[in-house]
Amino acid sequence: MTGSVAGGVVTATTSSLTLGGALVSGGAVAGIGTAAAVTSVFAGGLVGSAVSQVVGKALGAVESFSLRKAVAGGFTSVASAGIAGALKGSKSFIEGAKKGALNNLGRAVSGASNVIAGAAANKIVGLPSGFRWANVVANASTGYIGGRFGLSDQDSLFAGVTGGGFSQDFFSGVANSALNYAVTKGVFNEGSWNTRSVVANAFGSAIGNSIVAELSLTKEQKELRKVQNEIEKLKDKLAGDDVANRKVLDQLSKNDTGNSSVPVDAKDRVITIQGDDSLRKFKLRDLSPEEVAKLPQSERLKYGYNALADVYIQQEAAINLLEDGGVGVIQDIVNAANNKDDYNPFLLFAGLSPEHASNLFETHGANEFGSILRDRISQTSANMGAFLETARMFANDIDGLLIHGPNAFENLMLMDGDKVATLGLTSIAGTIGAFTGFGAMVQNGSLDNDVRTLRAMSQIGIMAVSESGFRIDNALNTIGESVSMGLWSRGESGSGGEFAAFGLLRGSALKRIGQQFAKIGRGIKTGVGRIWSGAGSAVKSLTGKIGGYLNKLKAKFGPNQMPLGFGGTSDFKLFGKSLHGGLDAAGFKNVDAAFQGSSVTGRAFKAPHDPFDVGRVSDFDIALSSEGLFEKARDVGVGLRAKGTRTGPLSLEKTPDLLERMGLTQLSAQLALDAGRPVNFMIFKSIDDAISRSQSIILPRP
């Protein structure tokens, strides 16, 4: 149901229409198609009119309350919603192809029609119609001019459910009345300005809008509301735990686990995996599972985050070692597999049992076995990274709460409630997504079932999806479970556990900063994508910009990376050589290229965000950019999008004609053949535009 009541345009100044009848401005109304929708709009109009009358009476603008006027307000609102919906069916009245928004002309027609609807509604309930052509013209002008100035811009917040909340609706109503008066007086020399009537009218309309907005909430918006309620509960809970939480923070601050003395190579990459005493000194981690279970929830959150962050850092170190360690590293891993070492970190991170690993080595040989290990670890690492980022955002919220006092959260809510709620949703969605990713890998056989840590993660993911949905308390429990899981894994190893024994591995401060930027970028991008439908557009825009900026940093300065889907570094380099060679041959020199999509993120674009190549073939999405290439695309008629900064996707299957005109048919076919999967291009005006749009791995020029 998308109908809504917003921005009353009743001509209270001329006292010609039903006072306070909430009317539809049409800014984002898609029409009312169901009985429930009609009922909610009618209720909004009726109550809006009633409230206007009550307020008007209090202000002395109305002599007595009229139920007929209130009912007329309801009818008028329904008719207005219907008119706006009908207008949306015509391209002449909507803003381009954008769904849900009338253009200024549409607003003008809607405004004029509302006067007629109001007159008809008055007649239905037995009141004088109050119809005047001057009002028709005034309302049409108000709709048009108001649209030009952004009054009642229903796209501004909350996906167009209202004009942006009660206060915006109210002031919008006052501004519209002022415009209406200006036109009526200026053109027809009619009407009079009555501040009391205007205020009463705007107040009633805003109330009516709020009622319809409440009844019109989509499923996602209701979830958002639930999350906000959960945040309130969490706030109360945390206030109770404040003393205990402060102790935890003190303890954490005294146990900095940072260590910059880990051996690194000339490229500033960790070159060995070894223990770190600082981790052992971290007393919190010596607690038993039972003791952890007794900790306040926020404390467990921090504990779990740090334990899993260790794993993530080591996953990255393991990938580096596999790339640079040569045969010696592989041989060590094979020896561990032959010795049935369940807790060899490489096998653990790759989700391989020792038996499976031995078989893979015998079947494929050392080089390919190394590539398989690296690809598998990259997949699990990507999932872990997303999870950690969302957990970190949560942890920071709690830090803020504890450091700034019990009222900090409330203040934050007052300052920017949407942001806080969005953050909560992001965290939960990311958590569920990450664990679901692990779960999917286990279920699809990508990871061995006998690796207990990952199996536990899978179970947590399934639980999160099937039982908890978007609930903050369950997400916290999920993270708490992670802690128990980490402890349990440690206990099973008999020697302090791998998570503890291998400790934290860190490169230089620069490397750490780079990793943080990379993770933040990935987390924000992931989160924004998942809550797109429920978040406000303002928040979306802000986080999108931050995500884009961080993506740029990561693509340009992050550690060397390789997209998923390649057998090894040599295959990746060969692919790059073919791409750039083919572009050169087609006459396009110095083209920048970047991988995008699931080969970079490790997960599908849409929920449930399955891992790369699991359950279906993941394509290679490649962004291309050079001045010559972009001009050629434009010259041969490739349509531009996103304010002229990029083309749409180009592929052999969807746009063979355009690729042919670009002279890229042969190259596209050859790359698909080489990669064993479809290759899709998108041409950008600049590579920065591409990187800002989506997480990317730049393909080095040969």
Partner 1 sequence: MLYGVETGELDNFRDEMEKILDVSFSAHESEYHGGEYFRLAEMDLNVILQENFMEDDGEVTEAEFPEQELLIYISGDEIRVCEVSDVLRKNNFSLLKSSTY
Interface residues with partner 1 (CB under 8 A)?
96-99, 596-598, 604-606, 610, 615-619, 621, 641-643, 648-649, 651-654, 656-657, 660-661, 678, 680, 682, 693-694
Beta bridge partner(s), residue 624: 593, 683
The SS3 assignment for 291 reads: helix
Nearer to partner 1, 99 or 281 (CB): 99
Nearer to partner 1, 281 or 641 (CB): 641
Nearer to partner 1, 515 or 596 (CB): 596
How far apart (Å, rounded) are the C-alpha atoms in residues 171 and 423?
A: 29
Q: State how far the alpha carbon of 56 is from the alpha carbons of 74, 201, 258, in Å.
A: 18, 8, 65
Residue-wise DSSP of 651-668: -TTT-HHHHHHHT-HHHH
Nearer to partner 1, 342 or 619 (CB): 619
Nearer to partner 1, 27 or 74 (CB): 27
Smallest distance, partner 1 to C-beta of residue 649, A: 4
Smallest distance, partner 1 to C-beta of residue 520, A: 20
Structure tokens at 73: 């307000």
Please, are residues 273 and 366 in contact by the beta-carbon 8 Å criterion? no
The SS3 assignment for 647 reads: strand
Please, are residues 438 and 447 in contact by the beta-carbon 8 Å criterion? yes
Smallest distance, partner 1 to C-beta of residue 461, A: 19
Nearer to partner 1, 102 or 292 (CB): 102
How far apart (Å, rounded) are the C-alpha atoms in residues 277 and 288?
A: 19
How far apart (Å, rounded) are the C-alpha atoms in residues 420 and 435?
A: 23
Largest CA distance in the chain: 96
Nearer to partner 1, 527 or 597 (CB): 597
Please, are residues 1 and 32 in contact by the beta-carbon 8 Å criterion? yes
Smallest distance, partner 1 to C-beta of residue 110, A: 20
Smallest distance, partner 1 to C-beta of residue 150, A: 17
How far apart (Å, rounded) are the C-alpha atoms in residues 604 and 613?
A: 9
Structure tokens at 61: 């603008």
Smallest distance, partner 1 to C-beta of residue 407, A: 38
Nearer to partner 1, 298 or 598 (CB): 598
Alpha-carbon dihedral 634, 639, 644, 646, rounded to 10 degrees = -90
Determine the angle formed by the axes of helices 195-215 and 35-59, rounding to 10 degrees. 150
How far apart (Å, rounded) are the C-alpha atoms in residues 263 and 269?
A: 8
Of 655, 621, 617, 660, residue with least CA distance to 639? 655
Nearer to partner 1, 252 or 607 (CB): 607
- Beta-carbon-side half-sphere exposure of residue 427 (alpha carbons within 13 Å): 27
Nearer to partner 1, 182 or 538 (CB): 538
Nearer to partner 1, 183 or 524 (CB): 524
Smallest distance, partner 1 to C-beta of residue 610, A: 8
Smallest distance, partner 1 to C-beta of residue 657, A: 4
Smallest distance, partner 1 to C-beta of residue 687, A: 16
Beta bridge partner(s), residue 684: 625, 646
Nearer to partner 1, 376 or 693 (CB): 693
Smallest distance, partner 1 to C-beta of residue 693, A: 6
Q: Which long-range contacts (CB under 8 A, 24 or more apart) does 152-155 make?
A: 152/6, 152/7, 152/25, 152/27, 152/176, 153/27, 154/4, 154/6, 154/7, 154/25, 154/27, 154/28, 154/29, 154/101, 155/27, 155/28, 155/100, 155/101, 155/537
Nearer to partner 1, 78 or 623 (CB): 623
Across 23-51, b (16+ Cβ under 10 Å) vs e yields: bbbbbbbbbbeeeebbebbbbbbbbbbbb
Nearer to partner 1, 263 or 676 (CB): 676
Smallest distance, partner 1 to C-beta of residue 680, A: 5
Peptide bond preceding 608 in cis form (omega within 30 of 0): yes
Smallest distance, partner 1 to C-beta of residue 598, A: 6
How far apart (Å, rounded) are the C-alpha atoms in residues 273 and 110?
A: 69
Nearer to partner 1, 90 or 570 (CB): 90
Smallest distance, partner 1 to C-beta of residue 219, A: 16
How far apart (Å, rounded) are the C-alpha atoms in residues 170 and 187?
A: 26
Nearer to partner 1, 426 or 618 (CB): 618
The SS3 assignment for 102 reads: strand
Smallest distance, partner 1 to C-beta of residue 444, A: 13
Nearer to partner 1, 190 or 610 (CB): 610
Smallest distance, partner 1 to C-beta of residue 439, A: 18
Smallest distance, partner 1 to C-beta of residue 406, A: 40
The SS3 assignment for 203 reads: helix
How far apart (Å, rounded) are the C-alpha atoms in residues 564 and 567?
A: 9
- Note the helical H segments in 444-471: 452-463
Smallest distance, partner 1 to C-beta of residue 547, A: 11
Structure tokens at 505: 């591995």
Please, are residues 104 and 147 in contact by the beta-carbon 8 Å criterion? yes
How far apart (Å, rounded) are the C-alpha atoms in residues 345 and 340?
A: 13
